[in-house]
Amino acid sequence: MSDIPLDIYSQPSDDVPFNLDGSTLAEENAPFNSSIAAGLAINVTPSAEFSVLSVDEAVSKLKTNGTSGISSMEEVERRRELHGTNEVTSEDGEDNGKFGLLKRFLSGFIEDRLILLLIGSAVLSAILHNVGDAISITVAIVIVMLVGFIQEYKSEKSIEALNKLVPATCHLVRFGRESHVLAATLVPGDIVAFRVGDRIPADLRVIESVDLSLDESSLTGEPDPVHKSSDSVLANPTGIIPISERHCIAFMGTLVKEGHGRGLVVATGKETAFGSIFEMMSAVDKPKTPLQTAMDHLGKELSLFSFVVIGTICLIGIWQGRSWLDMFQISVSLAVAAIPEGLPIIVTVTLALGVLRMAKRKAIVRRLPSVETLGSVNVICTDKTGTLTANHMAVSKIWCLSSMSTKENVLNVGSTTDLRNYLAGDVRKTLEIGSLCNNATFSVDHSKFLGNPTDISILEELSKFGMEDERDKYTRIKEIPFNSKRKFMAVRLKCENSDDKESQLICVKGAFEVILGRSNTYLTEDGKIDKLTEKNKETIIECANQLASDGLRVLAFASSPYHSKTDFTDISEDDINDLTFSGLIGMRDPPRPTVKPAVEKLLQGGVHIIMITGDSPNTAVSIAKQIGIPVINEETSVLTGDKMKTMTNEQLANVISHVNIFARATPEDKLNIVQALKKRGDVVAMTGDGVNDAPALKLADIGISMGIIGTDVAKEASDMILTDDDFSTILTAVEEGKGIFNNIQNFLTFQLSTSIAALSMIALATALNLPNPLNAMQILWINILMDGPPAQSLGVEPVDHEVMKKPPRSRSERILTIAVLGRILGTAICIILGTVFIYVKEMSTDGEKSARDTTMTFTCFVFFDMFNALACRHATKSIFKIGVFSNSMFNLSVGLSLIAQLCVIYVPVLQHVFKTERLGAFDLLLLFCLSSTVFIVDELRKFIVNQYLTNYVEEENRYTTTV
C-alpha cells in the first residue's frame, strides 16, 4: 500500500488524488474520464490500508485497546479535532442559517437571464418616472423568486424528514463501558458493537464476528449479503484492494443482516468510503435543464427584440421631427410593454403546482426546473432490484428428482395458497432442510421475518404445504456460513430431546453445482435413499439450468446423518461429503404489478428504457421480458459490465442505442453509461439508491433516488425521490413533465400574442402619427389581464394523458418552435385586424378620437384577449373535446375578468380613471361576435391540423401493411 501514507492518523492530509494523473475532480470536473476516478477515490480511503493489517496491528496502529476502547476523554477530543465529527454533509446543507438562506435567495436573481432583463426594465421605468410599471415588475420578480425558493426549501425539508427515519446511533465501547450514543461522536480508535438490524456508523475493522453478514447494496449495488470475518486480506500486488474484497471491513451505512460482532473505527466522516463518494459527487456540476436553456434563449430573444423596437421607433420618431427625449420615453415604454413580466411568475407557479401534484403521487422533486425536464427525458436507466421488482424474494418453483423425474415436471408454487396435496417425501425433506439451514428470525412484534431474503422466502413457503418451522425442536451445534467462495451453508443439528449422536443431522444448501458435486445419493418420493447416477446428475443439471434461464435464483438442498469422523469444531469444506440430494428451489424477486403498464406507455412515448443490474444476463432478460422491455437479440440488446469496461466512451455511445440491458454491471459503470448517453445528446434519467450511484445521479439530467431503500447521499445527489420506490411513479412524473411544458407553451402563446398585438397597435399609431388608440391606464389594464389570472390559469390546465403518445422533445429544441411562433403571429394578426377595424370604424364618424372610440377599441381588445385565452387552452385539441368546464380555475378567472371589464365601462368612478363611457347592448354584442373570430379561426386551424394528421397516419399504416 505504498500509495497510502502509513502515518495517516498522525497528521491530516488534503492531497488525496482522484485521478491517475494527479489532477483533482474539481479541476477535471464531471464526467470523470470513465470510472477510474470513482474506483480510485474509494481505494485510497483508510479502510484499504487497515484491511491488510491483523487485528493486533490495527489496534496498535490506532493506539487504543481492542476490548475497552479509548481510555481518556482528552484523547477523544484530540482525535475529534484532528478528524472532525463523524458526519457527511453537503456544502449547501452547511449553509442553511439566516445569512445562508438569504444568500441562496439573492443568488437566484443573477442566474436567470429573463429576471435580469426584467430588473433592467424596472430600473428604466423608474428612471423615466413610470412608477407603476417599476413597482409591478419588481413585485412580479420578488414573487417569482419567493415561490421558487420556498418550494425548493420545502422539498429539502421533506428529504430531511426521510433521512431522519433511521436514527444515526450506535453501541459504543469507550472507557471500558458500552453505551448507546450518536454516531456523530465516534472517532478513529473507538470500539463499536453491532447486531442484526444495526447500521454500521463508520468504517470499521472487524475484530470479532459471529456468523456476520452485511448488506452492502447501499455501497456496492450488490443485493447479496456479504460474509465478514476478522481475518485480514492478502495484500494486492497492485496496491489497490477493491471494496468487494475487504472482507474484514464493515463500511459506513451498510446494514447487519445476520450475526453480530465488534469493530474498530478506522475512518469517520469524509474519510470513509461513503464520504469519499460524497466528496466526488460534490465536485460534479449539475447540468442545466432543457427548460432553463430554453428560457435563457427566450431571454436573449426578448432582449434583442426590445433593442430592435427601441431603435426602430426612435429612428422613425426622429425622422418625423420629434424630440429625442420624447422618443426615448415612448420607445422604452413600448419595450417594457413588450416583455411579458408575468412569464417568469407563471412558469414558476406552474412548476410549483406540478411539484405539489407529484408529491401527492409519491414523487418529491427537489429542484423546480426538474419537473419540466422529466417531459424531455428520452432515456431512463433504471435499477432492477426494488425498482422494477418488489425487492422481496419469493419461492417460484420446486423440483425433486424422484417425484418429478424430468425437467418439464416442475412444481409451480407461485401464488398458489394450498399445496398440501403435492407434499411428497422428497419435497417435504427439501423444505425441511431449507427451514433448518436458515438464519432468518422473527421481528420483535412477530409481524415479519428478518434476515437474508432467500432464507425468509423459504420460511414463508412452509404454510402453503401445511408445514411449520421446526427449528425450535433442534439445537444447532455448529454452522459453516455461506460465502461467495464456498457457495454453500451447512449446519449440524441434534434433536432437542436427545443426546444420541446418531440422531444428529447435517443440513446443507447452496449452489446446485457445488451440492451436486458433494452428493452420491438422492432422496426418493417415498423417503428412501437411492444411488445418484451420472444420468441423474445430468437431469438435475438440465433442470437447474432451465430454472436459471427463467430468471430464478436456484439453490440445491441436501443432508446426511452425522458421522463420527466429522468434527465441526475444526471443519473444512472437504468434510461436507457423501450428501443425500433432496431437491432444487427456484426463487425470484417478482416484478411489481404496476411496472409493465408503465413500461408500455413509456415505450409508446418514445422513451428508451435501459435496465442496469448486477444479476446475470439470464435473470435480467427474464425480468425484462416479463415487464415488456424489448429484447430482440440478446447479443445486441444485452451488454455485460466486463465487456463494457473494454470499450471506449465513443464505442459505447455508438452501440448504446441498441442496448436495453446492462448485466453484471457495477454502480461505477453507471457513470460511463450516463456519459455515453449524454455524448449522443440524450436527456437522461437515472435511478439509484446506493452511495456509489450518487455521482451518476448528479451527472444525469434527472437523478431519481429511492425514498425507502435509498441512502442519504443518493437522495442528496438526486433531483427527484420516489417515496414508494416504484418505477411506475416515474411514468406519472414524465407525464406531468410533458403536460407542464405544454401548459408553458400555451400561456406563452397567449402572452406573446397579446403583447405583440398591443405593441403593434401602439407602434403603428406612432409610426403613422395617429392618436394613440389606448391611453396609459387602459394599456396597464391589458397588461394586468395578460399577466394575471387568465394567463396563470392556463398553467394549471389538466394534463392530457395523450401526451405520452408523443416523443420527448429534443434537448436543443427551443421553447418558441416554428409551430408556436405561427400560432402567436396568426393570433396577433387576427387581434390587430379586428381591433384596428373597430378603431377606424368609430373614428370615421367624426374624424376625431373620443372617449367612445377608445372605449370600443379597449373593450374589443379585452374581449379578443379572453377568447384568445380560451383558444390557448390546448394547442391541437378543440375546446369542446377537452371540455369547456374541465379547468374551473380558468372559467372563474375569465368570468371575473369580464365582470371587471364591465365595471370599468359602467362604474362611474372607474369610468373617470380609465377615461371610458357606457356602451349599449348592441355595441357589446358586436364586440363579442367580432372578438370571437380569434377563437373560431384557431378552432378551424386545429380541425385542419387534426384531419391532416389523421389522414397521414392512415396512409402510413396502409403503406406499412402493404410492404
Q: What is the CATH number of the domain that holds 872?
A: 1.20.1110.10
Report if residue 124 sits inside a domain.
no
Same domain? 714 vs 758: no
Report if residue 814 sits inside a domain.
yes
CA atoms of 555 and 551, how far apart (whole Å): 13
How many separate domains does the chain show? 4
| The pTM of the whole model exceeds 0.75 | no
Catalogue the active-site residues: 383
CB 247 within 8 A of CB 484: no
Q: Residue 57: which residues within 8 A CB-CB, separation 6 or more?
A: none
Report if residue 161 sits inside a domain.
no
Same domain? 547 vs 436: yes
Among 562, 421, 424, 558, smallest CA distance to 488 is for 558
905 phi and psi, to 5 degrees?
-85, -35
Same domain? 427 vs 489: yes
Report residue 342 as a C-alpha cell: 408575468
Residue that finishes a domain, picked among 697, 725, 753: 725
Which CATH number characterizes residue 455's domain? Answer: 3.40.1110.10
CA atoms of 387 and 609, how far apart (whole Å): 13
Find residue 556's DSSP bridge partners: 510, 584
H or E segment and range at residue 108: none
Neighbours of 281 (CB within 10 A): 24
CB 241 within 8 A of CB 289: no
Same domain? 628 vs 519: no
Among 673, 666, 724, 667, smallest CA distance to 694 is for 667
Q: Using CA atoms in the order 440, 441, 446, 448, what is the torsion angle rounded to 10 degrees?
A: -20
CA atoms of 590 and 588, how far apart (whole Å): 6
CB 262 within 8 A of CB 193: yes
Report helix, strand or coil for 842: helix
Same domain? 789 vs 924: yes
Same domain? 780 vs 880: yes
Neighbours of 907 (CB within 10 A): 14
Among 121, 219, 223, smallest CA distance to 692 is for 219
3-state SS track over 278-316: HHHHHCCCCCCCHHHHHHHHHHHHHHHHHHHHHHHHHHH
Same domain? 721 vs 824: no
Residue that finishes a domain, picked among 281, 299, 319: 281
Report if residue 298 sits inside a domain.
yes
Q: Residue 875: which residues within 8 A CB-CB, separation 6 or more?
A: 742, 745, 746, 749, 819, 820, 823
Find residue 614's DSSP bridge partners: none
Report if residue 658 sits inside a domain.
yes
Angle at 424 between CA 420 and CA 427, to 5 degrees: 90
Find residue 382's DSSP bridge partners: 611
What is the bridge-based pairing of β-strands 720-722 and 363-365? Answer: antiparallel
Which CATH number characterizes residue 194's domain? Answer: 2.70.150.10
- Residue 961 exposed, middle or buried by CB count within 10 Å (0-12, 13-18, 19+): exposed
Among 241, 275, 248, 251, smallest CA distance to 1 is for 241
DSSP string, 341-388: THHHHHHHHHHHHHHHHHHHTTEEESSTHHHHHGGG--EEEEESTTTT
Could you tell me the mean pLDDT of each successive run of 10 residues in the chain, 963 residues long?
Answer: 33 32 33 39 74 92 92 92 80 47 56 61 69 66 61 50 52 90 91 88 92 78 76 76 84 84 92 76 60 68 68 74 63 59 68 79 79 84 83 89 83 81 91 92 71 86 90 84 77 75 81 92 91 93 88 90 53 76 91 90 90 82 89 84 83 87 81 87 87 81 84 78 87 85 86 83 73 74 74 82 81 79 91 91 78 92 94 90 89 92 92 88 94 94 79 48 40
CB 677 within 8 A of CB 656: yes
**C-alpha 105: how far from its chain's center?**
25
Would you mind telling me the total number of residues written for the chain in this entry? 963
CA atoms of 522 and 536, how far apart (whole Å): 9
Residue 275 is predicted with a pLDDT of 78
Give the range of the structural domain holding residue 886, as residue numbers without chain letter.
288-362+733-962
Q: Tell me, what amino acid is at 858?
A: F
CB 314 within 8 A of CB 326: no
Same domain? 711 vs 788: no
Residue that finishes a domain, picked among 249, 281, 313: 281
CB 427 within 8 A of CB 400: yes
794 phi and psi, to 5 degrees?
-70, -25
Cell numbers 444411488: residue:
531
What is the bridge-based pairing of β-strands 169-174 and 191-194? Answer: antiparallel
Residue 3 is predicted with a pLDDT of 34
CA atoms of 756 and 832, how far apart (whole Å): 9
Report residue 238 as a C-alpha cell: 497492485
Same domain? 546 vs 684: no
Q: Residue 679: which residues within 8 A CB-CB, separation 6 or more?
A: 649, 650, 653
Same domain? 460 vs 481: yes
Residue 334 is predicted with a pLDDT of 59
Among 211, 214, 206, 252, smallest CA distance to 230 is for 206
Same domain? 892 vs 917: yes
CA atoms of 485 and 453, how far apart (whole Å): 20
Q: Residue 551: which residues within 8 A CB-CB, separation 6 or more?
A: 588, 618, 619, 620, 621, 622, 623, 626
Q: Residue 699: which residues within 8 A CB-CB, separation 6 or more?
A: 30, 31, 284, 287, 671, 674, 675, 678, 686
Identify whether 225 is preceded by a cis peptide bond (ω within 30 of 0).
Answer: no
Residue 92 is predicted with a pLDDT of 47
Which CATH number characterizes residue 641's domain? Answer: 3.40.50.1000
CA atoms of 807 and 20, how far apart (whole Å): 41
Report if residue 478 sits inside a domain.
yes
Same domain? 688 vs 767: no
Report if residue 238 sits inside a domain.
yes
What is the bridge-based pairing of β-strands 579-588 and 519-523? Answer: parallel
Report if residue 406 sits inside a domain.
no
- Residue 580 exposed, middle or buried by CB count within 10 Å (0-12, 13-18, 19+): buried
Burial 687-718 (b: 16+ CB within 10 A, else e): bbbbbbbbbbbbbbbbbbbbbebbbbbbbbbb
To the nearest 10 degrees (0 to 180), the angle between helices 818-843 and 933-962 is 150
